[in-house]
Structure 1
Amino acid sequence: MIKNKSFINDTTMAKAIKTPKQPKEPVRVRYKTLSDGSQSVYLDIYRDGKRQYEFLKLYLIPETNAAAKAQNKATLAAVNTIKSQRIIELTNGVAGLKNTSLRSKMLLLDWMQAYKESQEKKGVRGSGKLISNTMNVLRAFNAKATMRDITRDFCLAFINFLRNIYVSPSGKKLSQFTCVSYFGCFRGALNAAVREEIIAENPVNRLNTDEKIKMPESKREFLTIDEVKILIDTPCRREDVKGAFLFSCYCGLRISDVLVLKWKNVDSSAEQWRINIIMQKTRQPLYLPLSMNARKWMPERNGAGDEDLVFPTLPCEDTCNVQLKPWVKAAGITKHVTYHVSRHTFATMLLTLGADLYTVCKLLGHSDVKTTQIYAKIINKKKEDAISLIDMEFANT
């Protein structure tokens, strides 16, 4: 009986002793897939209640052969060695983090200034003013925010600030279009920060579709084929602006891409001319065939070098839009026409003439056909309106 009682007590005691939980690793290895298929390896370090990232400048390559597998094995061994060192440093109370991880502590406004200078250095004309205006709004929203403060919740709060709280120096709230422009600039700056490995990811990409700022579909103004023909016959005070606008009507390039388009991007070696560029907005490649009508509105090369601009005299986007107004008015067109209308015109013109949605998607450089479907909806609405005209005409018969 005593042995049985002892056994029961031992069993009860064993159940009472809980297995201690394993502490979470303070340093974890993370991977970011790059556009070329390789993976950038970085460390996710949790220290003093805060998360930091250390970019190692080490990469895993696609394992297409034995040599690649061996290289990746050596890379991972190096990563794990660094990881072990960081764990020891954290355990001993030593910071031991590289400067690259500390860059996330920089102020958001300081990064925006660096981004502005980078864009201007690349020759992205018109970007300076937009970035400066976006910085003014960010300064009013949170002037002390650092790069590691930029989370999904930060982005949502900034969207709300743009839409409902911020008041411009003129005392007016921002229009939907301006909100889209400023938030797009903010998103572009964060994408650049990811490329520079200042932050690990862009939290804007974690927003749901209905949480992002979008332009109302009704705002996507475009010109009909007949209106384009009228503009061709109407003189414009700035022939370079007229030529660039009509060029985009026939190829769909954004003003940001037209402004930096160089002759090296134009392949005229074959009968079918093509443009090969990295789009300024999305940083995605675009391989675009040029129609005869698009080529007609390009300036003559006249011995220009590969690094020379195709439209060297074209002003910034804001000035282009100012110059478009009297030209459009002289043509008798009452629509609100900006340079971006040329891109909408290209899309709707193709769909009107019977091009399929997938082809138009690729010509515009859209990554998702859902974006292109907006134009298809516009065309369908115009068809419905046309049918309604018949009903109105015979309403009393």
Structure 2
Amino acid sequence: MAVQRNYFSILFFIKKTKLLKTGEAPIGLRITVNGKRAEIQIKRGIESEKWNAQRECAIGKERKYQEINYYLETIRTRIFQLHRELEQDGKPITADILKELYYGKGENPKMLLEVFREHNQKYRELMGKDFVKGTVLRYERTVRYLEEYMEQKFNRSDIPLKNVNYEFVRGFEHFIKMEKACAQNATVKYLKNFKKIIREAQVKKLISDDPFREIHFHQTQTNRDFLLEEELDIIIKKVIDIPRLQVVRDIFIFCCMSGLAFTDIQHLTPEHIIKNSNGEYWIRKPREKTNNMCNIPMLDIPRMIMEKYKNNPECIRKKVILPVPSNQRMNCYLKEIADICGIKKTLTTHLARHTFACVALANKVSMESIAKMLGHTDLRTTKIYAKVLDRTISEEMQVLKHKFSL
């Protein structure tokens, strides 16, 4: 007896005659089995001129179109998988059965990366308003790592949300540490991103169980480096003849004496410099990372640096205080400056922020004041930066030393 063969195809198309409110054409999916069709609306739209009907995909290298194409491929993979499972089980296959299985009896089965990408798209749209670029990129990197993990472990590009369990999370944690060589604290950040998506899925009733219920995050204490006042003084007084290094040295010193992070110094504008009734200059700027306000009195040296670049063509064009290069170039040039100055520590803009906190603490500035200048709302965050210098301990012990001297 001949085995009946199912002629099966999938077609993505757009409906140009029924545009969405946004003016985009809705994307549809047509499943055909033995000549009979079933259609699915995939809740995505695209400009008609950005659709390639022959290739059944979006045109363009922009992230939006790449995301659409990836979503289409996820759907294609899922339906092919359902078709294969029906074949293996010897069950009847029709276009309507595949449509019903895909929708889960009328309810669209949510896939992990599908939900994650929807979240990331919203974050990217709000980038610069509610979220900084670094946060958005970290969430997108988490998706990339999850995809690679599933390809390696399960030979799949996505899985249903309901299939995410304790073992899956622990396996992903192991993958990040071993395959991506991430340290404990970096691993925890990716897991927290993952956990946020799961929490949102629970709130939306997409899943009931919490795969993170028995998982507790433990971050290791980091030993953050900083410059001593003597080392900072060497960099300030060093004669540097190379113009590009002079600029980077000035920016680095400005960071060391203001506590501003790289992205904050990069976006520092004249509007952020305030002169009060006493004639004192202050930096009042919301942090790019958290939007918390920084209130920093300007010391003489950063004020002189600001004046130095007042007529710089790049500063005028960008309407900023300093001509800050890219972070990569900045850190590269700082390595040269460290060599020139005989500093053995790795100079970075983040080390400059640490230096500001530590030097301020060593000079009897209160933890509360440092927190306000750094834009911290939680004092525990400030304590990470604040190190008690050996010299400070020595000075404070002088009282006991004289009292108990022989």
Q: TM-score range by the shorter chain?
A: 0.5 to 0.7
Sort the Cα spacing of 1:162 and 1:295 in 2 relative to 1 into closer, same or farther, 3 A. farther
Tell me what 2:274 maps to: 267
TM-aligned CA deviation for residue 221 of structure 1: 0.4
Assess if the C-alpha contact under 8 Å between 1:252 and 1:347 holds in 2: yes
Give distance in 2, aligned partners of 1:106 and 1:174.
25
For 1:179-194, list aligned pairs within 5 A: 179=187, 183=190, 187=193
Deviations 1:86-119 (CA, angstroms, capped at 9, x unpaired): xxxxxxxx9999xxxx999944245446645764
- The Cα of 1:346 is off from its aligned counterpart by 0.2
Check the 8 A contact 1:246/1:294 in 2, yes or no.
yes
Q: Percent identity at matched positions?
A: 22
1:109–1:138 CA contact under 8 A, matched in 2? no
Superposition TM-score, scaled by structure 2 size = 0.52
Give 2:305's match in structure 1, choosing from 297, 301, 325: 297
What does residue 16 of structure 2 align with? none
| Contact 1:125–1:316 (8 Å) recurs in 2 | no
Per the alignment, residue 232 of structure 2 pairs with 228
Secondary structure, aligned partner of 1:253: coil
Show the counterpart of 2:24.
none
Summarize the Cα distance change of 1:323–1:130 in structure 2 as closer, same or farther, 3 Å threshold.
Answer: farther
Distance in 1 (alpha carbons) for counterparts of 2:267 and 2:195: 19
Instruction: Give yes or no for contact 1:268–1:274 (8 Å, CA) kept in 2.
Output: yes
Map Cα deviations across residues 188-228 of structure 1 (whole Å, 9 max, x no partner). 9969x99xx999xxxxxx999971545x332x000011111
- Which one of the candidate residues 158, 176, 196 is aligned to 1:144? 158
Q: 1:120 to 1:375 in 2, by over 3 A?
A: closer
Q: Deviations over 1:153-212 (max 9, x none)?
A: 98877555433xx424xxxx23457557x649x759969x99xx999xxxxxx9999715
Give yes or no for the alignment of 1:248 onto 2:255.
yes
Instruction: Indicate if the aligned counterparts of 1:263 and 1:307 stay in contact, CA closer than 8 A.
Output: no
Asked if the contact 1:188–1:281 (Cα under 8 Å) also holds between the matched residues in 2, the reply is no
SS at match of 1:217: coil
Residues 100-249 of structure 1: pairs in structure 2 closer than 5 A: 106-109=114-117, 111-112=119-120, 115=123, 119=127, 133-141=141-149, 144=158, 159=173, 161-163=175-177, 166-168=178-180, 173-175=181-183, 179=187, 183=190, 187=193, 211-214=217-220, 216-218=221-223, 220-234=224-238, 235=240, 237-249=244-256
**Distance in 2 (alpha carbons) for counterparts of 1:208 and 1:280:** 34
Structure 1 equivalent of residue 102 of structure 2:
none
Map Cα deviations across residues 50-101 of structure 1 (whole Å, 9 max, x no partner).
Answer: xxxxxxxxxxxxxxxxxxxxxxxxxxxxxxxxxxxxxxxxxxxx9999xxxx
- C-alpha distance in 2 between matches for 1:381 and 1:208: 41
**In the alignment, structure 1 residue 280 sits paired with structure 2 residue 288:** yes
3-state SS of 1:282 partner? coil
Maintained 8 Å contact 2:111/2:160? no
Q: How does 1:61-100 map to 2 (within 5 A)?
A: none
Answer yes or no: is the 8 Å Cα contact 1:241–1:324 preserved in 2.
yes
Instruction: Determine helix, strand or coil for the equivalent of 1:277.
Output: strand
Question: Which one is further off, 284-293 or 150-159?
Answer: 150-159
In structure 2, relative to structure 1, the CA distance for the partners of 1:209 and 1:135 (3 Å cut) is closer
C-alpha separation between the residues in 2 aligned to 1:175 and 1:96? 40
Match of 2:320 among 281, 305, 309: 309
Superposed displacement of residue 318, structure 1: 2.1
| Counterpart in the other structure of 1:361 | 371
Q: CA deviation at 1:347?
A: 0.4
Output the TM-score relative to the length of structure 1. 0.53
Indicate the residue corresponding to 2:29 in structure 1.
none
- Which residues in structure 2 correspond to 1:36-47 (within 5 Å)? none
User: What is the aligned partner in structure 1 of residue 35 from structure 2?
Assistant: none
Which ranges of structure 2 fall in alignment gaps of 5 or more residues? 1-104, 151-156, 206-211, 398-406
Separation (CA, whole Å) in 1 of partners of 2:269 and 2:165: 37
* Mapped partners of 2:169, 2:266: distance in 1: 30
Q: Point out which structure has higher relative CO (alpha carbons under 8 A, 6+ apart).
A: 1
Farther off after superposition, 142-151 or 321-330: 142-151
Partners of 1:138 and 1:349 in 2: CA distance: 41
Matched, 1:379 2:379: no
Please tell me whether the aligned partners of residues 292 and 376 of structure 2 are also in contact (alpha carbons under 8 angstroms): no
- In structure 2, relative to structure 1, the CA distance for the partners of 1:384 and 1:281 (3 Å cut) is same
Whichever residue aligns with residue 319 of structure 2, its letter is D
8 A contact 2:257–2:299 mirrored in 1? yes
Query: Aligned letter for 1:167?
Result: E
* C-alpha distance in 2 between matches for 1:222 and 1:245: 13
Q: CA RMSD in A?
A: 5.0
Name the amino acid aligned to 2:283.
I
